[in-house]
Structure formats: structure tokens, C-alpha cells
């Protein structure tokens, strides 16, 4: 994609090799009450709430200037050392939790969607119906008050109703939305899916990119760029060419953000290759995890504290928050703790696979819209990204793709469920795949990652972080199944179905026991929810619902709830 890159004069981002001074960084967001203020610091460090997100999700009862000014008066009145009880009194007077959202009933919801007829197993058909019936429970719309007084909320007002992930996640999250939309489309809810994509486009126009979630405090970081994949899935179900025509410019704008802000140049064999990393520089701790980030940096120098906050926000941008995947020790290993995060130095396999897929989708969309020059342009971009993934991230010895450590110029040769992501996004040259298909499948089967009774874990390292073993994250299972299936051999197609079977059974058992879907599961114990990380397990759960519906829709005629059900199904 050399000619395409020259248009914006790609640079090797020097910040990859050096820290930035705090003064050089942008503010976390434009609302200081929720992002960069003494008020935020004092309240979060007083630990008024067990979950730091609770405070930054409250609404202001008065305008921002009054809130900040009155807090400084209050702060000085108490000799700049108010007690926890005094701070809580201030919060109770100046903030409220009236809920910025209201329940919403999607008009296109059906309690008997067509996909249920594909499911052979009685128990699984009932399970699919139960998951489908969760959609209205997670459906929300932004209240009129948020549109009328947007400056008093951290929530970004969005036009269309949407499906929340669940639990503490009461807003839209970027990459979650891909699997939610897929599930909605399987359930026949095309208008709801369309509205969710349109909400993301509103965020794109407001911020210049799609943030992590629809909260102001996520302003300076994004998440895996799945917008184009969402539109491709929507188009596959609807053939809505007018929607493509109306939104193609926004899909290009999303690619431009990543090209303009997340590009690095990697030298391999004397040649430079362009790839992407996660990188979200802004001042201070994450507002929604302020206490945790600030506590982790106590005793750090200003530079080390600044770098830690950048790296932890960058890891949050990845969606994998947090994992040994981002731990980088002086010897290049992934041992260590959360304070050893060095996300900026790691070129992720999945991010670059997603970007290659996104560029190809835009090329395909332009072809459908009869724009041959732009179709060729973005096709060239996609091809260059596929070539660069192969040149930099492929490890021929292990027959697998790995994240790349640009600090030490070496592959991160560890099992992570993201390793096979190029197969998922068709970011592998066909001749290369044909040549290496058997070796890749062998590497996947011998990794041990597909051997667990509760699903595919994100790693094999028991670190206590929630994106490590034994946790099974539904989107990663979806990625793994699609990746294995796209190898294309009969053995691979059989294994993909087996991996899907294992996960569906696990979720089914958990649903029977707890009457809930969880955001993550336990690889070692089918049906059990996962743990670790910064917050308790969340119920709901948007992407879990979507992934199970994906598997039931794709493999419904073969899947069974348990081995005894093989001969006890309706026709």
C-alpha cells in the first residue's frame, strides 16, 4: 500500500521508543468533572464506591462551572482534607443516579425468530429461545434529559435505541457491538442492528473516531475497529445498498483514523513494513478505574507514571483489559504484573487482521457501488496489509502468527487465542494458506487451547488477569471457530464445529444452573463464570448471546446439548 501511505506521509512514531511528558499529552476528555480535575481525584481516591466507574457514571445536578467552583470552595473550607463522609455529602448534593437510560422495546423483536427452526436438539432450541428473549431486557434508549443537558452527563446522547452489554456496562461498547449485531440479525432484528451501527457513526462524527464506549471519558481511546465488519454483516442479511451508499464515507473515515494515529513502521530483513498498534496517549489515570491506576503508580517517577497510564489505556483500547499479552519484561518475556504493561511496543495480530479485513470490506463496498477506482485503491490497501502481516507476524518455524515486540524486534511466541485472527478476517493470501493449511491446523491442535471442556481460553497463563487463563471470552471463541473453519480442510471444518459444540454446551449448562448468560466463562469447568480482573463478573451478556446464536444458527442441525441427546431430538 506504499502509494496510499505516501498520501499521509507515514512516520515511525517516535513515542514507541520514548516516553512522552505529561504536559505534551491531551486531556482524557473535554469534561473535567469526569476526567481531569481535583474533584475527580479527591472523590475517587476517597474510595466512596467499590467500583470507580460508579462515580463517573453519575450525572451532575448543576452545570459544570458551578460544580467545579463549589467543590473548590468546599475543599478549601475543609482545609483541603475533607473526610470520606464529607465528600459523600457533597456528591449526594451535586450528583445523582437517576439513570440516563430508559427501557426500550424494539419494534422488530419476535419471540419466535426463524433461526429456531434450524436447531435440531430440543434443549438447545429452548436455549436459543431463552437467549433471544434476553434482547428486550437489554434494550435501552437515551432519555430526553441527556439531549437537553448533555454537559451534565458523561453519557453521550445517541439517537437510536440499542442493546447494552449488561451489568455495569450500561452504554454502547465498540467491539462488543459486532457480536451483538450479529445476534440481532440472526434474531431477525434488522432495524435494531441498523440503528446500532448508526449510533456508532454518530460517535465517529462527534469524536473523529469511534471511542471505547459511549461515555465522554472514553474520548481519547478506541477499540478494535470492527465498524466495517458490522456493516458487511448487516449488508449480508439485508442487501441494503442505499445504506452503503449513505455511509461509505464514514467507513473510509474510520480507516483514516487508524492510519493517521496508530501506524508504526517495522523493519524486518532490511525492509520497512507498515502495521498498526494500540496507542492511546492522554493525561492521567483512566477515569473509570482512577483509584486502581493511581494506586498502581504510587512511588513511580512522573515519566514512569505517565507511561504506565498510556500503556494501560492502550491495553484497554485493545479490548483485552488486561492480559500477560501486554506484559513486556526487560528480557522480552511476558512474565510480570500489571505494572509491566508495555502495550505501545507490541504489534497485535488481531488488530492488523481486523484492519486488513476492514480495508477489503471497503473495497468490496465500492465495487458494489460501481466505484472501480476506489475499489482498487482499498483493495491495494488490504493486499498490502495482508502481505505485511505475513512478512512481520508469521512465524514459519511454529506455523503461526504472533504479536511482534518492536522494542526487541522479536515474535511473542506464546499461545493467545488471537494468534489465528488472520484466518478469521481472511487476511491470509490464498496460496500461502493452501501451502501451510495442515501445519497451521496442527499448530492450533497442539497448542492445547482447544482441549478444554469449558471453551477456548484466551491464554494458558494463570496470571489472575481476566484476559488470561482460565477465562473464556465469547468473542475469542467466535474468532477461533471462524479461523479454524477458514483453513478449509475437512479436518479443520470438523474441529471448528467441535469447538463451537463445546462452548454452546458450556453456556447451556450455565444457563440452566444460573438462568443467566455471563460476559466470560471458565475453561476448566463448563457453565461456570470466569473471574479475575478489576470488577465482578457481569450478567447479560450482549456478546455472549450473539456468539451462542451465531453457533446455533450455523451448526444448529448438528449441535446437541449433551451426548445423550444425539438420539433424542425432534426432526
pLDDT tens digits in sequence order for the chain, 571 residues long = 433 433 333 333 434 434 566 778 999 999 999 999 999 999 999 999 999 999 999 999 999 999 999 999 999 999 999 999 999 999 999 999 988 999 999 999 999 999 999 999 999 999 999 999 999 999 999 999 999 999 999 999 999 999 999 988 999 999 999 999 999 999 999 999 999 999 999 999 999 999 999 999 999 999 999 999 999 999 999 999 999 999 999 999 999 999 999 999 999 999 999 999 999 999 999 999 999 999 999 999 999 999 999 999 999 999 999 999 999 999 999 999 999 999 999 999 999 999 999 999 999 999 999 999 999 999 999 999 999 999 999 999 999 999 999 999 999 999 999 999 999 999 999 999 999 999 999 999 999 999 999 999 999 999 999 999 999 999 999 999 999 999 999 999 999 999 999 999 999 999 999 999 999 999 999 999 998 877 777 888 999 999 999 999 999 999 999 987 654 433 2
Catalytic residue of the set 57, 254, 485, 519: 519
Question: How far from 388 is each of 29, 267, 392, 460, CA to CA, in Å?
Answer: 34, 11, 6, 27
Catalytic residue of the set 321, 465, 468, 534: 321
Asked if 543 and 180 count as a contact pair (C-beta separation under 8 A), the reply is yes
**Beta carbons within 10 angstroms of residue 257's beta carbon:** 16
SS3 522: strand
DSSP 319: T
Cβ within 8 Å of residue 236, ≥6 positions away: none
Can you read off the three cell numbers belonging to residue 328?
A: 513486556
Can you read off the three cell numbers belonging to residue 300?
A: 513511580
**Distance between CA 491 and CA 362 in Å, rounded?**
32
| Cβ burial, residue 166 (10 Å; 0-12/13-18/19+) | buried
pLDDT of residue 22: 74
> Is 519 labeled as catalytic in the residue annotation?
yes
- The whole-angstrom distance between residue 238's C-alpha and the CA centroid of its chain comes to 25
- The whole-angstrom distance between residue 550's C-alpha and the CA centroid of its chain comes to 18
Asked if 385 and 349 count as a contact pair (C-beta separation under 8 A), the reply is no
Helix axes 241-261, 227-238, angle to 10 degrees: 170
**Distance between CA 221 and CA 212 in Å, rounded?**
6
Asked if 224 and 319 count as a contact pair (C-beta separation under 8 A), the reply is yes
Helix axes 241-261, 372-392, angle to 10 degrees: 40
Q: What is the pTM of this model?
A: 0.95
pLDDT of residue 487: 98
pLDDT of residue 345: 98
| Cβ burial, residue 557 (10 Å; 0-12/13-18/19+) | exposed
Residue 426 backbone class (left: φ over 0; alpha: ψ -120 to 50; beta: rest): left
Question: How far from 277 is each of 20, 160, 259, 353, 536, CA to CA, in Å?
Answer: 17, 31, 10, 12, 29
Radius of gyration of the CA atoms of the chain, in A: 23
**Distance between CA 255 and CA 225 in Å, rounded?**
8
> Is 303 labeled as catalytic in the residue annotation?
no
The Cα diameter of the chain in Å comes to 75
Amino acid at each position: 500500500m506504499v502509494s496510499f501511505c505516501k498520501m499521509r506521509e507515514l512516520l515511525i512514531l517516535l513515542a514507541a521508543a520514548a516516553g512522552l511528558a505529561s504536559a505534551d499529552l491531551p486531556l482524557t476528555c473535554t469534561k473535567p468533572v469526569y476526567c481531569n480535575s481535583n474533584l475527580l481525584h479527591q472523590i475517587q481516591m476517597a474510595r466512596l464506591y467499590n467500583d470507580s466507574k460508579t462515580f463517573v457514571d453519575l450525572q451532575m445536578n448543576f452545570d459544570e462551572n458551578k460544580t467545579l467552583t463549589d467543590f473548590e470552595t468546599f475543599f478549601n473550607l475543609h482545609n483541603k482534607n475533607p473526610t470520606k463522609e464529607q465528600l459523600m455529602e457533597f456528591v449526594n448534593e451535586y450528583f445523582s443516579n437517576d439513570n440516563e437510560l430508559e427501557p426500550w422495546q424494539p419494534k422488530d423483536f419476535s419471540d419466535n425468530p426463524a433461526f429456531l427452526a434450524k436447531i435440531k436438539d430440543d434443549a438447545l432450541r429452548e436455549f436459543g429461545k431463552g437467549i433471544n428473549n434476553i434482547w428486550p431486557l437489554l434494550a435501552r434508549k437515551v432519555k430526553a434529559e441527556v439531549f437537553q443537558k448533555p454537559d451534565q452527563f458523561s453519557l453521550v446522547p445517541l439517537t437510536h435505541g440499542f442493546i447494552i452489554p449488561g451489568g455495569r456496562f450500561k452504554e454502547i461498547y465498540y467491539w462488543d457491538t459486532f457480536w451483538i449485531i450479529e445476534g440481532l440479525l440472526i434474531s431477525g432484528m434488522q432495524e435494531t442492528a441498523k440503528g446500532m451501527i448508526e449510533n456508532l457513526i454518530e460517535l465517529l462524527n462527534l469524536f473523529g473516531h469511534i471511542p471505547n464506549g459511549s461515555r465522554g471519558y472514553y474520548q481519547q481511546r478506541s477499540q478494535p475497529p470492527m465498524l466495517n465488519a458490522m456493516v458487511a454483516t448487516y449488508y449480508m442479511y439485508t442487501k441494503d445498498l442505499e445504506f452503503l451508499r449513505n455511509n461509505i464515507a464514514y467507513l473510509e473515515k474510520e480507516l483514516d483514523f487508524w492510519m493517521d494515529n496508530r501506524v508504526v513502521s517495522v523493519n524486518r530483513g532490511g525492509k520497512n513494513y507498515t502495521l498498526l498498534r494500540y496507542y492511546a496517549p492522554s493525561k492521567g489515570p483512566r477515569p473509570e478505574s482512577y483509584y486502581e491506576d493511581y494506586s498502581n503508580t504510587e512511588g513511580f517517577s512522573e515519566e514512569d507514571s505517565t507511561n504506565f497510564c498510556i500503556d494501560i489505556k492502550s491495553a484497554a483500547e485493545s479490548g483485552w483489559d488486561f492480559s500477560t499479552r501486554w506484559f513486556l519484561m526487560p528480557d522480552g518475556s511476558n512474565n510480570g504484573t500489571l505494572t509491566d504493561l508495555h502495550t505501545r511496543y507490541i504489534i497485535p495480530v488481531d488488530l492488523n487482521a481486523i484492519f486488513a479485513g476492514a480495508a477489503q470490506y471497503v473495497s468490496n463496498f465500492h465495487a458494489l457501488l460501481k466505484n472501480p477506482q476506489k475499489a482498487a485503491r482499498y483493495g491495494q490497501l488490504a493486499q498490502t496489509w495482508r502481505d505485511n502481516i505475513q512478512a512481520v507476524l508469521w512465524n514459519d518455524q511454529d506455523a503461526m502468527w504472533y504479536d511482534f515486540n518492536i522494542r526487541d524486534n522479536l515474535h511473542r511466541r506464546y499461545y493467545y487465542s488471537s494468534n489465528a485472527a488472520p484466518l478469521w478476517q481472511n487476511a491470509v493470501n490464498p496460496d500461502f494458506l493452501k501451502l501451510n493449511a495442515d501445519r497451521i491446523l496442527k499448530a492450533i491442535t497442539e497448542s492445547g487451547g482447544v482441549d478444554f471442556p469449558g471453551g477456548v481460553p484466551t491464554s494458558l497463563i494463570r496470571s489472575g488477569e481476566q484476559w488470561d487463563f482460565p477465562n473464556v471470552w465469547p468473542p475469542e471463541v467466535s474468532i477461533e471457530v471462524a479461523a479454524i473453519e477458514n483453513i478449509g480442510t475437512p479436518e479443520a471444518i470438523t474441529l471448528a464445529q467441535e469447538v463451537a459444540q463445546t462452548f454452546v454446551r458450556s453456556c447451556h449448562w450455565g444457563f440452566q444452573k444460573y438462568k443467566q448468560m455471563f460476559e466470560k466463562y471458565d475453561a476448566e469447568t463448563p457453565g461456570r463464570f470466569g473471574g479475575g480482573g478489576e470488577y465482578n463478573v457481569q450478567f447479560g451478556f450482549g456478546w455472549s448471546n450473539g456468539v451462542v446464536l451465531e453457533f446455533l444458527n450455523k451448526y444448529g442441525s448438528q449441535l446437541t446439548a449433551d451426548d445423550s441427546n444425539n438420539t433424542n431430538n425432534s426432526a
